[in-house]
Amino acid sequence: MDINPAFSFTLKGQAWPGFVGVASGTFGYAKEYDGLSDFTKIGAVFTKAITPEPRLGNPPPRIVETPGGMLNSIGLANVGLEDFIRDKMDFLRRIPSAVVVNVAGALEEDYEKVVDRLEGVEGIWGYEINISCPNVRHGGMSLGTDPRLVEQITARLRGRTTKPLIVKLSPNVTDIGDTASAAQNGGADAVSCINTLVGMLIDLKTKRPVLPLNTGGLSGPAILPVALAAVWKVSRRVKIPVIGIGGITRWEDAVQHLLAGASAVQVGSGSFANPRLAEEVHEGVLEYARSNQLKSLADFHAMAD
């Protein structure tokens, strides 16, 4: 494997083999794409959100296609912490990609439980904190909408791990710069920018929302401009690296994320249509860098505001 360090996303001295991750919830536990994707060109696999206990998730239908995208209402369905370690880590350790465990929970203690337990597990590069899930203590509101709570949860987890800690920002806020800043203050090493947008579709026959819980998370090419604006804003607000995510279905979209200020990218629901998207983005961005004399990921950020 020929990895160029100038194009390897690195936190705390730990490098990915590349700069393109596959987003949490869109790549399962990676094994689902065995034989379909080339993991040598996937810098990092962000796992399905892991909670202490197994979760079934929401009732069907959980997916609906939208103009240029899709809504999902999966509901953090996952095998739970112990089954994840027992059944899913073996494959994740075998692939070259860095393994970033997406951590979720209904209470702050749940996040701590997941991180504490995984600290003793070999093969994990770092953690991505999902602050968009409903929090039981805060009346079902997500931690991600309140900068004080974002700083608190980040600080609590920072105290429990020396591994890279990434906070995944929700775009469903007044000022995403405030939550990004809170994550930085809490000790995050990077932020993922952005999670899905709240959206809805309504069925003309039933006159009801299509999704059983009414709303879902919007992803896909439709959200690219929203994500780019957020990456632009956040990367000018915080000093920690920004991982651009949202709307990438072609390598050109990833180049835009990097030019907007991202230091790495994640591809999300675009992998559903094209399981080789991450590798195509990897190749396409490198080719763009070569033909534009950009010698490193940092060179993408030289643009004046």
Partner 1 sequence: MVYKKKQVPYTRRRMTQFDARVMENREVAQDYFEIFLEWPAPARAPLPGQLVTFNVEKGFHPFLRRPFAFASYDKSERLVSVIYHRRGPATQLISSLRSGDTLDVIGPRGFAFQPPRDADQPLLVGGGIGTGPVVFAANWLATKGLHPRLILGFRHQGLFPALTLRPEVELQVCTDDGSLGFKGNVRAFLSTIQASEKDNAFVWACGPYPMLKAVHEWSQAEGLPCQVSVEEIMACGVGACLGCAVETVDARQMVRVCTEGPVFDSKVLKWT
Cβ distance to partner 1 smaller for residue 182 or 211: 211
Query: String of b and e for 269-299 (b: at least 16 CB within 10 Å)?
Result: bbbeebbebbbbbbebbbebbeeeebeebee
Cβ distance to partner 1 smaller for residue 19 or 300: 19
DSSP 55: B
Cβ distance to partner 1 smaller for residue 86 or 137: 86
Length of the chain: 305
- Of the candidates 289, 291, 237, 303, the residue with the CA atom closest to the CA atom of residue 6: 289
**Catalytic residue selected from 85, 89, 118, 133:** 133
Is residue 133 among the annotated active site residues?
yes
Three-state SS string across 134-163, please? ECCCCCCCEHHHCHHHHHHHHHHHHCCCCC
Task: Determine the residue type at 106.
Answer: A
Rounded least distance, CB 175 to partner 1, Å: 29
Q: Give the binding site for partner 1 (CB under 8 A).
A: 1, 14, 25-28, 32-40, 48, 56-57, 59-70, 72, 74, 77, 93-96, 98, 119-120, 122-125, 163, 220-222, 249, 269, 271-276
- Of the candidates 91, 70, 71, the residue with the CA atom closest to the CA atom of residue 79: 91
Rounded least distance, CB 109 to partner 1, Å: 23
Cβ distance to partner 1 smaller for residue 119 or 287: 119
Task: Determine the residue type at 241.
Answer: P
CA distance 243 to 245: 6
Rounded least distance, CB 150 to partner 1, Å: 25
Cβ distance to partner 1 smaller for residue 88 or 233: 88
Q: What residues act catalytically? A: 133
